[in-house]
Chains A and B, each alone.
Chain A
Amino acid sequence: MAGVRLVNVWKLFGDFEAVKDLNLEIKDGEFMVLLGPSGCGKTTTLRMIAGLEEPTKGQIYIGDTLVADPEKGVFVPPKDRDIAMVFQSYALYPHMTVYDNIAFPLKLRKLPKDEIDKRVKEVAEMLGLTELLNRKPRELSGGQRQRVALGRAIVRKPKVFLMDEPLSNLDAKLRVKMRAELKKLQKQLGVTTIYVTHDQVEAMTMGDRIAVINQGELQQVGTPEEVYDKPANTFVAGFIGSPPMNFMDATVTEDGFADLGEFRLKFLPDQFEVLQEKNLVGKDIIFGIRPEDIYDALFAQVKVPGENMARAMVEIIENLGGEKVVHLRVGNLTFAGKFPAESKVQEGQEIDIVFDMKKAHVFDKTTQKAIF
């Protein structure tokens, strides 16, 4: 087992910068999720670690071994990197049985027959594939194919697992189940895993840490709690969380308020101190707050009229069963709140809402970077 380290890695396709100056360290045994919208460079990054793409610049280490460095002319082909990969389409060999699919990497390594047999059966047992060993991939359901692909990766006992959106072709129910199984399996095996997804729920539930990538640039690396509670910029704040964080243009007033135009919200003393230190008093900022930090006044604990409250019009209610997403409007400002299912608000109603200012975020207007 081993960690993975990327140092100043660039990947260009012609003029297009797919990955820009990426620095990332994945610790031994860690479950790292690369999260970002499609085309952000996360899959390219994974493919560079696998050796299916060569970086244009920079170094990649697996364990202590330098596996790619174009300047030194180092490039270790995938077969010698001791990694295993699970593809989005599973990429099972269609003419081989489940048994042969799982045994294939071991056969290529010329392991003794009884050793191969032992390991294939072990893995099949672990993944519940024992009954299916003589079937061909076309005779399997999506979930079963997925498990075979996983089995083919596990059987090798590689240093690193690379997974490229492995759950995205499964139906919603199976995906939730496999999410938990995969996480459990990874902990059980303790193998360093790099997992690419565009699904923030997968990232939050499975990752030990998440690396958020956008337009080829690393935005933030951190535990799920860190990226959720302390997003580094508006992109991360908006990408993680559903519905996404509300952003509103505001001005910091002399007396410690965020002036949103239609109403004002009072910063907490320590928040205002930070804003003063950064010389942002009187300046324009982006005010951010997550929907779950906006409360129906009937359910709120701390209500201070004129400081953390506003009167809003309920435009649309999306009832999710367990909770309600309520689209609110104050004058020209629109934003979403997440209310408990017991909330009795009606569409078209005017209600009092409370902002949990402890959870408020402020971003720099020009750089989009988080102040707090």
Chain B
Amino acid sequence: MTKNLSRALLYGVLIFLVFVYLLPLWSAITTSMKSTEQVALTTPVTPAFPPTLEAYKIAFSELKRPILNSLAFTVFATIFSSVLGSLAGFTLAKLLKGSTSKKLLMIITFGVFLPYQAILIPLVRIISNLGLYNTIPGLILTHTAYGIPITTLLFANYYYEIPDELIEAAKVDGANPFSIYLRVVLPISMPAFVVTAIYQFVNIWNDYLFGVVLTRGEEAMPATVKLANLKGSFVANWNVQMAGALIVALPTLLIMIALGKYLIRGYTAGAVKE
């Protein structure tokens, strides 16, 4: 009896927490489907009635170019940082001696925890001097460089799990380091690529700080930066802002749905030896 009671209590608490967690999302969804008048007259959690897609139209026309910008640099920076991370991870895990590799990995780990803010000023200067300020290539370069430590770490950890004998067998069979990577290591790296790509895509897509300091006009501005600018100068268009936020969140959601099953496999790959 007491067991059932504590169970009921537990579920009560859990349902309450779920409610608290989902309330802002609900508020965003319902607000995005209200007209400007409805927003003014109702509370943020009142259901939209009648629902309208008017706010989405406005938000989308405003965000079209920035979303394309974001897609462009996110896709390229994700690909570049993953490929470079894979090459670097392979070198660390399989080509260098154990002690050297551990030391280098330590240094690279610092790069992962380097705060964005610390490097902003030199970053802007370097990118300007390269003539890449306010350009998509500038953002690709920045995100690729900033992503390499974490992608290297992810790949190195995956490659440590690959038995050394496999690499040695390829060496004896006549392969040079590059053909070992291309013919033996790369084909079995899919799980690591999926994990890294999802991680990088979500991080780069959601980045705001690099975007805001490295762009000025619409031609290279990321969606996240444009989103923050959606609030009007005199009145806050809550419905348009919420619609915009939901639109911008969509690509990361789609990536997770499309690749999520590989993500789980990637996390566990190598955990159990055959």
Contact = CB atoms under 8 A, between A and B. Distances in A.
B165 A95 contact: no
Contacts of A152: 169, 173
A301 to B, nearest CB: 52
Main secondary structure of the interface of B (DSSP, over half): helix
A93 B166 contact: yes
B114 interface: no
A78 B179 contact: no
Given A87-B168, A89-B163, A79 B188 contact: no
A85 B169 contact: yes
Contacts of B274: 138
Which 6 residue pairs are nearest across A and B when measured between Cβ atoms? A91-B169, A105-B173, A91-B165, A108-B174, A79-B174, A95-B187
Interface in A62-105: 77-79, 83-85, 87-89, 91-95, 104-105
A89 B165 contact: yes
20 contacts: A52-B168, A52-B172, A78-B171, A78-B172, A79-B171, A79-B172, A79-B173, A79-B175, A84-B173, A88-B165, A89-B163, A91-B168, A91-B169, A93-B184, A94-B188, A95-B187, A105-B174, A108-B173, A152-B173, A156-B173
Contacts of B175: 79, 108
B172 A50 contact: yes
Nearest to B169: A91
Chain A interface size, under 10 / 10 to 19 / 20 to 34 / 35 or more: 20 to 34
B176 interface: yes
Contacts of B168: 50, 52, 78, 85, 87, 91
A95 B188 contact: yes
Given A52-B172, A78-B168, 15 more contacts: A78-B171, A78-B172, A79-B176, A83-B172, A84-B172, A88-B165, A89-B165, A91-B168, A91-B169, A93-B170, A94-B188, A105-B173, A108-B179, A152-B169, A162-B172
Contact of B171 (A52, A89, A109): A52
A220 B171 CA distance: 32
Contacts of B188: 94-95
A9 to B, nearest CB: 19
B171 A87 contact: no
